[in-house]
Structure formats: C-alpha cells, structure tokens
C-alpha cells in the first residue's frame, strides 16, 4: 500500500505535539496492515467530505484520507474536528 501525504498534511503534522505525532506513526502501521482495524475507528465522512474517510489517532485527533486508487491512499489532513470545517 502506498500512502501519499498532501502538503497541508505535512505542514500541520510538523506542528502537532510530539505525543500526537508519535501516536500517528503507530496508527499508520496499523492502518497499513488493515485500514479498517477496530483500533482505528475508521469511518466514512458525510456532507461536503462524502468522498473522504477518517480514523482516530488519539483523543480528538483524526487523519482524513481518501482511497485514491488500487493500493494508493492519500492522507489529506490531520487534526481535531476542525479539519472538517
């Protein structure tokens, strides 16, 4: 599985607290093995983000992503629920 990251994702990721960055790296490993692992709480988004999915990193932090093709995932954004606005 190829995971691509948007420039927005990379910019925001660098500014996150270290514990969130560390947890995101742990969750990415789980995601690579199974994007729908129960530990991720992967869910489809609605409304203007109906083509996107998200999974939980820690507490209120989420990674928003899209299935971009066969074995290609784009991580679009990371953050609190504010990423949905």
Over the stretch 4-56, which tens digit does the pLDDT of each residue have?
999 989 999 999 999 999 999 999 999 999 999 999 999 999 999 999 999 99
> Which of 82, 63, 61 minimizes the C-alpha distance to 73?
63
pLDDT computed for residue 82 by the predictor? 78
> Measured in whole angstroms, how far is the alpha carbon of residue 60 from the centre of its chain?
12
Strand partners, 65: 53, 75
The pLDDT of residue 70 is above 90: no
DSSP 50: T
Q: Which residues contact 28 (CB under 8 A, 6 or more apart)?
A: 3
């Amino acid at each position: 599985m190829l995971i691509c990251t948007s420039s927005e994702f990379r910019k925001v990721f660098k500014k996150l607290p270290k514990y969130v960055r560390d947890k995101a790296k742990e969750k990415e490993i789980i995601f690579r093995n199974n994007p729908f692992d129960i530990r991720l709480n992967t869910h489809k988004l609605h409304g203007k983000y109906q083509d996107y999915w998200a999974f939980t990193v820690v507490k209120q932090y989420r990674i928003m992503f899209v299935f971009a093709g066969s074995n290609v995932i784009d991580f679009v954004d990371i953050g609190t629920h504010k990423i949905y606005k």
